[in-house]
Amino acid sequence: MISEQFVRSLPKTDLHVHLDGSLRLGTLIELARERKVKLPSMTQSGLRKLVFKDRYRSLPEYLQGFGLTVGVMQDAEALERVAYELAEDNYQEGVRYFEVRFAPQLHSSRTMDMRTVLQAVNRGLARATRRANRRKAIRDGREPEYKCAITVCALRYFVAAMSPYYDELFRVHPFTRHDDLYGLASLELARAAVAIRDRYGVPITGFDLAGRESGFPAEDHWRAYDVAQRNFLHKTVHAGEAYGPESIFQAITDLHADRIGHGYYLFNTRMIKNPRIKDKQEYVRALSEYVADRRITIEVCLTSNLQTNPKLTNLSRHTFRQLRAQRLSTTLCTDNRLVSNTTVTKEVMLAIEHFGLSAHELKNIVIYGFKRSFFPGSYTAKRDYVRQVIDYYERVTAAAAETADAAGRPG
């Protein structure tokens, strides 16, 4: 039996975690009080009951809480604090590497541009990382360092009220088609991300597209992803979360995604909408084979998918089972630590409980998170880091086995 204590001790990754979905609940309340932001409740229990629930009726309901979290993250001090606490929470449960994603345009205004937003987040992450690595050095100089990177998020859909940035965009372009505005915003974000990475050293390694899939196709954002591709930003796309296999197809063909966020509906032929696709089974087979062959990693978020898919009543029926059966590249992620009330350790334990992961399978999945990361460094540095992680993983496993043997019980 693989214990929770053992999982916590392992080096882990989180490649899909949203900054604005992962605040500490107490911090949300404190920031709201200080910044005069109205919440449905000013108690943690009240917010758990009214907003951040165990189950949601749909993805749109799941996303409602982000209006509250983003509302308190409209200045550099709040952004730095939230980023610092997220890094601390990850490191304290044994996450050695994570990639935080967020949409800078949700926090931008005339008084705080995207550079200021990204630098504030990076300050918080860097401060927590330095502190964690100082503690690590005291314990064991052979341990892999704690590391993190930033993925910037474009939105498939937005309205003027979502932020001052979007309000200004609609004001300056009043007669532009909305789908053209969506693409314009993502293009500006891609260009800004490259410039801020190159001029100011902010570790932006990934570009993402998030938000409503239905009616808001990935192809609207091809120019932004072309900029990302030409400037060596890694690419991930939310796809197959609330729409079918066609969304995943667009992500890997129009946007050249290296990884897919969620991919829950990859195998679901009933979700295919295009009438020109006659043989749906063959379409899904060819698509999944392509994803598997190119080692396009699926960022699996078990709790989040359970919460936002009413038809998923039993986690053991999650697509993760079929992804593993067909040997696709997968990694376990939280999506949103606050909104989903989860941790990386919890996600791993759910996978062990519902899918019967063996120790060998667990190791492969955990290590693959490091291998398929958008690591902020050279290829050789990444290889060395992954090797160090593997060695450390094996030492932790051996120590756990020795402890179990000494106690006279199974490991």
pLDDT of residue 411: 45
Checking if the pLDDT of 375 tops 50, the result is: yes
Helix H or strand E segment including 63: helix 59-63
What confidence category does residue 141 fall into, taking pLDDT thresholds of 50, 70 and 90?
low
Residue 91 lies in a domain: yes
Q: Is residue 363 part of a domain?
A: yes
Selected residue with higher pLDDT from 390 and 214: 390
pLDDT, mean over the chain: 95
State pLDDT tens for residues 290-301: 999 999 999 999
Query: How many domains, in total, are found in the chain?
Result: 1
Q: What is the pLDDT of residues 128-138, one digit of tens each?
A: 999 999 987 66
Residue 248 pLDDT > 90: yes
| Residue 243 scores a pLDDT above 80 | yes
Q: What is the pLDDT of residues 180-225, one digit of tens each?
A: 999 999 999 999 999 999 999 999 999 999 998 989 999 999 999 9
Residue 187 makes CB contacts below 8 A (sequence gap 6+) with 221, 223, 224, 227
Domain that holds residue 201: 4-406
More confident residue, 382 or 58: 382
pLDDT tens column, 36-75: 999 999 999 999 999 999 888 877 788 889 999 999 999 9
196 located within any domain: yes
pLDDT value at residue 246: 96
Q: Is the pTM of this model over 0.85?
A: yes
Q: Quick check: is 316 in a domain?
A: yes
Residue 12 lies in a domain: yes
> What is the side-by-side strand order in the sheet with 297-300?
12-18, 95-102, 147-155, 204-210, 234-239, 259-262, 297-300, 330-332
CA distance 160 to 106: 10
With cut-offs at 50, 70 and 90, classify the pLDDT of residue 108.
very high
pLDDT recorded at residue 384: 96
Structure confidence at residue 405 (pLDDT) = 74
Average pLDDT over residues 14-39: 98
Q: Does some domain include residue 257?
A: yes
Average pLDDT over residues 87-95: 98
What's the pLDDT band for 321 if we cut at 50, 70, 90? Answer: very high
Judge whether 131 lies within some domain. Answer: yes
pLDDT tens per residue, range 142-190: 799 999 999 999 999 999 999 999 999 999 999 899 999 999 999 999 9
Segment among 27-31, 139-143, 306-310, 350-354 with least mean pLDDT: 139-143
What is the CATH classification number for the domain harbouring 49? 3.20.20.140
Q: Which of 241, 246, 299, 347 is catalytic?
A: 241
Q: Is residue 411 part of a domain?
A: no
Write 46-52 long-range contacts (CB < 8 A, 24+): 48/341, 52/25, 52/338, 52/339, 52/341
Q: Is 34 a catalytic residue?
A: no
Distance of CA 229 to the CA centre of its chain: 20
Here the tokens at position 8 are 């916590």
SS3 208: strand
pLDDT at 140: 61
One DSSP character per residue, 113-177 reads -HHHHHHHHHHHHHHHHHHHHHHHHHH-TTSPPPEEEEEEEEES---GGG-HHHHHHHHH-TTS-
What pLDDT digit, counting tens, does each position of 333-346 carry?
A: 999 999 999 999 99
Confidence at residue 403, expressed as pLDDT on a 0 to 100 scale: 82
